């Protein structure tokens, strides 16, 4: 089948209108006739670009007098922070000459605050002025700042913070820019604090639909007619959005103009580089060739160790000690298998040996006490008693002989915990604890730890405002139960506490 000439393909706008009442701009176009299969190819590609890549503007953060985070409730305002955030996400604005803008609202209640109450600005157009933001139920003055910006697609609140460090003037962080911008306006709140970031959907395109219907050319009906329908939020017309999508596709397809250069580089690649690539491929030996027990191999693969070369590197650096369920016996079997494998190739393993841990006991009279006083937990205590360990003295002797991890169920992490408990119970850590207790006073604010504003705000909203409270929750593991504190933020807190204590609480 011959390709249909461009001159024979008709592009027609079938319907186009703007509907302020329903809140969208609409257009329907048709393209045809197209060769068979071209309709769905072009339609699907345009639809994906329209929904994901058209530039628009959206609220990315706000400040409201008396609100400290999105879960705040304030007397005199009917909605809570979460409801206001959800309402604000529906605000449709158009930025003309800037990528970032601060909008202001100041109103005295009782009154309903709508988007039309936003102060007028020459380069900002509020599209849906009748949007309900919140209701003031008391005779109080409420001030609000809304930060809007241009972007593409969807961003989480965390991505919003990172992204707007790049587009603000001079590459400043958004907080710096907001402080400069907002404080230049008289009688408004001091900016830079209590900013509530929100996730943002920038795309002005709300919906795209297409269908492919048969088209006739001469006597044949094996051709396509593409019909596309586009709805936008009225900040951009459907036709302009389509133009931008086509421009994006055309720009990306020009990459293939460099195809000849890519082919030439492929042919001129040196033979040495080819050999290096081949050697790299050959150096990846599957873990199965080591002959390890199935369970051990499964544990290693579950932790991302798929080749013998990776296992060698981890074993040499002592990394096996940090892999759960790899105890002393399994570690020994891994080392023996690696040594055999390397010996056949004329190499040696050279495992780094960790410094042997010795337990010092400050109070000898506690050596004869039963291990139950250490409160090590039922599984650990049970395994120790099975091995004939009944007293603290016997346990200390076992540790100093380097045989604690030989006991079933006691790996490297549990062994380290046992050592810390013994040293603490027998008084070997009294001096260190005294320093820590002195450093962590009841009055020391968490501000001294240098945590980022968002993390500090989460802690304070949960009532954790001093270093002493924070350290207590970190020590007993309850910090992970605080809403908004995941593994990454917990690690940041622990690092900040450690650095603070090492400096003597200064």
Average pLDDT in the 393-400 region?
84
Contact between 133 and 84 (Cβ < 8 Å):
yes
pLDDT tens by residue, 155-174: 888 888 777 655 444 444 45
Q: Exposed e or buried b for every residue in 464-473, given b needs 16+ CB within 10 A?
A: bbbbbbbbeb
How far apart are alpha carbons 465 and 479 in whole angstroms? Answer: 13
Cβ pair 470, 446 in contact under 8 A: yes
64-71: average pLDDT: 79
Range of lowest pLDDT (53-67, 356-370, 452-466): 356-370
Burial group, residue 294, by CB count within 10 angstroms (0-12, 13-18, 19+): exposed
User: Quick one: pLDDT at residue 503?
Assistant: 67
Chain center to CA of 454:
14
The angle formed by the CA atoms of residues 187, 188 and 192, to the nearest 5 degrees, is: 140
For 468-500, what is each residue's pLDDT tens digit?
Answer: 888 878 876 777 777 767 777 787 888 888 877
pLDDT higher at 81 or 357: 81
Query: Is 295 buried (19+), middle (13-18) or exposed (0-12) by CB count in 10 A?
Result: exposed
Helix, strand, coil percentages (3-state) for the chain, rounded to 5, are: 45, 20, 35
300 in Cβ contact with 293 (< 8 Å): no
Q: Give the residue with greater pLDDT, 145 vs 220.
A: 145
* Range ranked top by mean pLDDT from 33-47, 214-228, 361-375, 421-435: 33-47
Alpha carbon 431 to its chain's center: 40
Check whether 70 has a pLDDT greater than 80: no
Q: Which residues contact 133 (CB under 8 A, 6 or more apart)?
A: 84, 87, 88, 91, 105, 113, 114, 115, 117, 144
DSSP character at residue 466: B
Buried-state track 199-208, b at ≥16 Cβ within 10 A, e below 16: ebebbbbbeb
- Report the alpha-carbon distance of residue 210 to residue 358 in Å, rounded: 73
End-to-end CA distance of the chain: 80
The CATH code that applies to domain 60-199 is: 2.170.120.12
Q: Where are the beta strands (DSSP E) in 140-283?
A: 141-152, 154-155, 196-197, 200-201, 205-217, 220-232
Tens digit of pLDDT for each residue in 411-441?
A: 666 777 788 788 777 765 444 444 344 444 5
- Please answer whether residues 34 and 4 qualify as being in contact, where contact means their C-beta atoms are separated by less than 8 angstroms: yes
Report the distance separating Cα 293 and Cα 337, nearest Å. Answer: 10
Cα distance between residue 63 and residue 142, in whole Å: 11
432 DSSP assignment = H
Name the range with the highest mean pLDDT among 18-32, 184-198, 256-270: 18-32
Nearest to 70 by CA among 473, 454, 436, 496: 454
- Whole-model pTM? 0.50
**Please, are residues 229 and 248 in contact by the beta-carbon 8 Å criterion?**
no
CATH for 6-54+204-255 (3.40.50.720, 3.40.50.1400, 3.30.1360.10, 3.40.50.1100): 3.30.1360.10
Which residues touch 348 (CB under 8 Å, ≥6 apart)? 339, 342
Residue 402 has pLDDT above 50, yes or no: yes
Cis? peptide before 129, omega within 30° of 0? no
Strands 100-108 and 196-197: unpaired
Cα–Cα dist 204/244, whole Å: 12
Secondary-structure class of domain 432-502 per CATH: mainly alpha
Task: Give the domain ranges of the chain.
Answer: 6-54+204-255, 60-199, 364-428, 432-502
CA distance 472 to 435: 15
Neighbours of 474 (CB within 10 A): 16
């Amino acid at each position: 089948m011959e390709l249909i000439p461009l001159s024979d393909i008709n592009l027609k706008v079938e319907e186009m209108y703007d509907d302020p009442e329903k809140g969208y701009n609409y257009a329907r176009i048709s393209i045809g006739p197209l060769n068979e299969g071209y309709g769905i190819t072009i339609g699907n590609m345009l639809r994906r670009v329209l929904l994901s890549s058209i530039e628009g503007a959206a609220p990315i953060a706000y400040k409201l007098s008396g609100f400290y985070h999105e879960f705040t409730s304030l007397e005199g305002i009917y909605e809570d922070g979460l409801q206001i955030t959800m309402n604000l996400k529906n605000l449709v604005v158009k930025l003309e000459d800037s990528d970032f803008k601060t909008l202001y609202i100041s109103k005295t209640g009782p009154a309903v605050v709508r988007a039309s109450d936003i102060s007028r600005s020459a380069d900002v157009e509020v599209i849906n002025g009748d949007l309900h933001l919140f209701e003031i139920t008391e005779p109080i003055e409420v001030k609000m700042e809304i930060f809007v910006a241009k972007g593409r697609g969807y961003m989480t609140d965390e991505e919003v913070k990172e992204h707007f460090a790049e587009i603000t003037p001079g590459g400043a962080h958004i907080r710096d820019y907001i402080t400069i911008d907002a404080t230049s306006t008289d009688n408004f709140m001091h900016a830079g604090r209590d900013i509530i970031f929100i996730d943002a959907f920038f795309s002005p395109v709300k919906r795209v639909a297409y269908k492919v219907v048969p088209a006739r050319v001469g006597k044949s009906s094996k051709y396509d007619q593409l019909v596309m329908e586009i709805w936008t939020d009225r900040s951009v017309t459907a036709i302009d959005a389509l133009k931008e999508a086509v421009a994006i596709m055309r720009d990306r397809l020009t990459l293939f103009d460099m195809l000849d250069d890519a082919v030439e580089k492929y042919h001129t690649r040196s033979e040495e580089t080819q050999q290096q690539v081949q050697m790299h491929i050959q150096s990846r030996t599957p873990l199965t060739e080591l002959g390890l027990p199935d369970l051990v191999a499964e544990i290693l693969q579950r932790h991302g160790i798929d080749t013998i070369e990776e296992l060698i590197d981890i074993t040499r650096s002592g990394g096996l000690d940090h892999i759960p369920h790899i105890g002393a016996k399994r570690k020994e079997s891994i080392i023996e298998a690696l040594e055999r494998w390397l010996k056949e190739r004329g190499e040696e393993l050279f495992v780094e040996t960790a410094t042997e841990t010795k337990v010092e006991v400050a109070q000898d009279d506690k050596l004869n006490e039963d291990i139950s006083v250490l409160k090590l937990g039922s599984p650990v205590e049970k395994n120790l008693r099975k091995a004939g360990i009944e007293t603290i003295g016997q346990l200390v002797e076992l540790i100093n002989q380097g045989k604690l991890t030989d006991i079933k169920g006691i790996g490297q992490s549990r062994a380290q915990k046992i050592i810390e408990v013994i040293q603490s119970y027998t008084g070997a850590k009294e001096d260190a604890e005294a320093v820590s207790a002195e450093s962590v006073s009841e009055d020391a604010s968490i501000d001294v730890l240098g945590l980022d504003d968002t993390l500090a705000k989460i802690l304070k909203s949960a009532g954790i405002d001093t270093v002493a409270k924070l350290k207590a929750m970190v020590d007993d593991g309850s910090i992970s139960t605080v809403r908004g504190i995941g593994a990454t933020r917990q690690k940041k807190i622990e690092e900040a506490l450690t650095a603070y204590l090492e400096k003597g609480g200064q």
